[in-house]
Structure 1
Amino acid sequence: MPEAEPPDREPRHADALRIVVPRYGESVVGGAESAMRRLAHALSAREWTVQVWTTTAVDEATWRTAFTAGVERDGPVKVRRYPVALRRHPWLFARLSTAAYHLPRPLRGERMWSIAQGPYSPGLIRALSQAAPVPTLFSPYLFHPTLFGLPAAPHPRILVPAAHDEPALRLAVVRRAMLSADALWFHSLEERDLVATIHPETGALPSACGVVGVDAPGDVDANAFARRHEIAGPYLYFGGRIAGGKGLETLLAAGALLHTSDASATLVLSGEAGDGVDTPEVRRVGRLGERERWEAIAGAVAIVVPGSMESLSLLALEAWSMGRPCLLNASSAVLAGHAARSGGGWTFRDASQLAAQAAHLIDNPEQAAAMGAAGRAYVAATYRWDLAEERLRTLLAATAR
């Protein structure tokens, strides 16, 4: 139960960080939010004083209240939750988005769009405007706490955009927020290039690439998941959200093709994608605990990341850290870049190509192992927590006022 606490009285610790996200918690399914939670815990383990400022919402579709306003703890991390003043109405937001993306700029109503986008929490914005001058990190760029909290917060302000190519990235309210940042911290080289192309002025800001690290457990039984769920034969694994741009339809079509081929395989889905009814070719296992999720990754022939709009795939990094190959959507510049740099995966354009690639890896386990080993080396060289901490320190030094 959150405790009551007076207004911000944070200590001015040499290694202190405030992280602002629209929603936060173990139950939150979202790549950007998950990345920030991992960062908070990783820095806390390195003796940083980390607070997370967020809202009471959990559901991005409506921003319904799921947590109690106030202060609570997530292990070593102090979490401050502020109430959401307005729930999102999907039909209204869709119409405001059409206006914001297509009307002439004076008629777009971008401020109204950002409020409807939510989660609208005036208390959070007000608290940021009065907060102690602790370095403040915002992510992702898209939501109201970042768009209006970033200009209100004390310096230094660091933005982790978690951007992908979408109409919202081109809005003036987004440009204003980005230029309010003192530094930009990107998940990938491709994300950095995208933001610089759309908002060239951001190129003058200090920046770095590589926000997260991956800590893979070392004693995972690669056969445990299949035994527990009575899966006979090879399987592909995907765990994550089912929102637009996540490519679930392509993945399911590929699973159906594999089921009728000589290289029959089961498609295992977890997380939001894992809610629902099984079919002969698809095993839906719901939300997995952390240990079981690692077991599912370790035992898979390959991990599939079917989304076309990605700023980073934590799932791909986790797969490579376990030495498993990845099959990645070629429409995502970020995923294609990871595949090219790592040698740990192939990219696909459609369901038939995805099915053919999976069948080849099933028939050629030595090649799958070699790809997984290349991916493991890539993650070890690029996505470590000590490197992420070093990048953060460098950004803070560059923004010293």
Structure 2
Amino acid sequence: MSGARRPRVAMVVQRAGREVNGGAEALCRDVALALRSVWDVTIVTTTAIDYGTWAPDYPAGPGDIEGLPVLRFDVDEPRSPRHFDTLSARLLAKIGTAPLAEQEAWMRAQGPYSTRLLRYLEDHGDSYDLVIFYTYLYATTYFGMPLVRDRAVLVPFAHDEWPIHLSMWNERFAAAREVVLSTSEERDFLEARFGRPFAGPVIGIGVDLPEDADGSRFRQRCGVANPFAIYVGRIEAAKGCEQLLQDFAQHKRRVADDLILVMLGRAQMALPTLPYLRPLGFVDEQTKFDGLAASEFLIMPSALESLSISLLEAWSVSRPVLVNAASDVLVGQSRRANAGLWYGDAAELSAGIDLLRGPAGRELGANGRRFVAERYAWPRIIEAYQHLYERFAVPVSSPA
């Protein structure tokens, strides 16, 4: 390959855009934006924002995210949550014995299934040196990888949820030119699940240390006067939010303090009206960092994570974290950073709140900022992806 030609790389993800609220989608977007300094990157995705229905929110065709090229394709049909839940329950009941055809029917229903996107990969995939698929769980990855088999790299965002135990994934994980990991805990899980080594690099994401995060601006803009814990992410039961509300309610019954819970993100579940709960919906990046800076600490109640970007963002503004002890990934991140505590029930959450509101919280937050500066600087992430390219890139055939 000519040293003068910039590498051409496609990144395939189920949704993409500043309005999209999701960890894997944010990682793909931010990595793509960072790598455009050294690669010609195109994001290949669907027109959807809502992962529950895959309804078309963006126009199909070429677009951009802050000048980064994006190709969006319509999904063949929206997802029916009721039909999908029925298929999921049926498949879960025979997870070790279901035939491949039934598993693939479930994957089509899971979506987003886009004939046009898949046809683009089939017709133009060989015009890219690498095609990187973000998150294993969706149809864009499962049906897209075989079309570019010789240049497919997988960033799975895997954790111990029931779909990863379907046998259909055995071939996909084996066929990837490389599997890029987000944490060492993800590597441990995949090696246990598939019974073989995963020697791919642990890369993760870069985090800029914000110098202009302003807690006072957040309080004024959002009308929040009380000290508060903050949650950032999709608000749904699968992320532990329902249990968090129960645990936080127990804390408030135990302690008559002035702490409230602020939640940033789109709500996929009904939220009660409570004097100590402030759901503010999806907010822009500046407001998110201002909110983190204004908070006492971040709470992350999910038991199923492969990398928590929210933890890194909280640490970037020197805020400690309180995480679900059931998540090996979250506990591992917090241990390595020495920047958080973990809880297993409501009593431990309450004790963690008490500790993080004191001097220990300030010390842990400072540790987190140092950790992010050392481990998650963008130059390090870019270098790791460049090494990946040097090892696995396949010469292109012709421009797309």
Query: Shared topology, TM-score over 0.5?
Result: yes
1:391 aligns with 2:391: no
Cα offsets for 1:303-330 (capped at 9, x unmatched): 1111111111111100011111000111
Q: Show the counterpart of 2:367.
A: 374
Q: Show the counterpart of 1:143.
A: 138
CA-based RMSD of the aligned residues comes to 2.0
Structure 2: give runs of 5+ residues left out of the alignment.
Answer: 395-400
1:222 aligns with 2:192: no
Cα offsets for 1:33-64 (capped at 9, x unmatched): 111111111112x2421100011122111111
1:86 aligns with 2:81: no
Q: CA 1:299–1:370 in 2, change beyond 3 Å: closer, same or farther?
A: same
Distance, in Å, in 2 between the alignment partners of 1:309 and 1:350 is 16
Structure 1: give runs of 5+ residues left out of the alignment.
Answer: 1-11
Q: Show the counterpart of 1:113.
A: 106
Tell me the SS of whatever aligns to 1:217: coil
Q: CA 1:228–1:197 in 2, change beyond 3 Å: closer, same or farther?
A: same
Cα offsets for 1:243-289 (capped at 9, x unmatched): 34311123212332343414330111111149966421111222222
Distance, in Å, in 2 between the alignment partners of 1:210 and 1:283 is 34
Distance, in Å, in 2 between the alignment partners of 1:273 and 1:355 is 24
Residues 208-219 of structure 1: matches in 2 within 5 Å? 208-219=201-212
Tell me the SS of whatever aligns to 1:195: helix
Residues 96-107 of structure 1: matches in 2 within 5 Å? 96-103=87-94, 104-106=97-99
1:173 aligns with 2:171: no
Distance, in Å, in 2 between the alignment partners of 1:225 and 1:400 is 44
How many pairs does the alignment contain? 385
Distance, in Å, in 1 between the alignment partners of 2:224 and 2:66 is 35
Residues 278-293 of structure 1: matches in 2 within 5 Å? 278-293=273-288
Q: Show the counterpart of 2:11.
A: 19
Tell me the SS of whatever aligns to 1:272: coil
Distance, in Å, in 2 between the alignment partners of 1:22 and 1:238 is 24
The alpha-carbon deviation at position 194 of structure 1 amounts to 0.9
Higher mean C-alpha deviation, range 381-390 or range 266-275: 266-275
| Shift >6 Å, 4+ stretches | none
Tell me the SS of whatever aligns to 2:42: strand
The alpha-carbon deviation at position 154 of structure 1 amounts to 5.5
The alpha-carbon deviation at position 399 of structure 1 amounts to 2.0
Q: CA 1:53–1:130 in 2, change beyond 3 Å: closer, same or farther?
A: same
Distance, in Å, in 1 between the alignment partners of 2:77 and 2:153 is 27
Distance, in Å, in 2 between the alignment partners of 1:231 and 1:21 is 35
Cα offsets for 1:183-204 (capped at 9, x unmatched): 0111111111111211234x36
Tell me the SS of whatever aligns to 1:153: helix
TM-score under structure 1 length normalisation? 0.90
Distance, in Å, in 2 between the alignment partners of 1:158 and 1:107 is 23
Give the aligned residue type for 1:34. A
Tell me the SS of whatever aligns to 2:150: coil
Q: Show the counterpart of 1:350.
A: 345
Give the aligned residue type for 1:381. E
Give the aligned residue type for 1:89. S
Instruction: Among all aligned residue pairs of Structure 1 and Structure 2, give the percentage whose two residues are the same amino acid.
Output: 34
Tell me the SS of whatever aligns to 1:207: coil
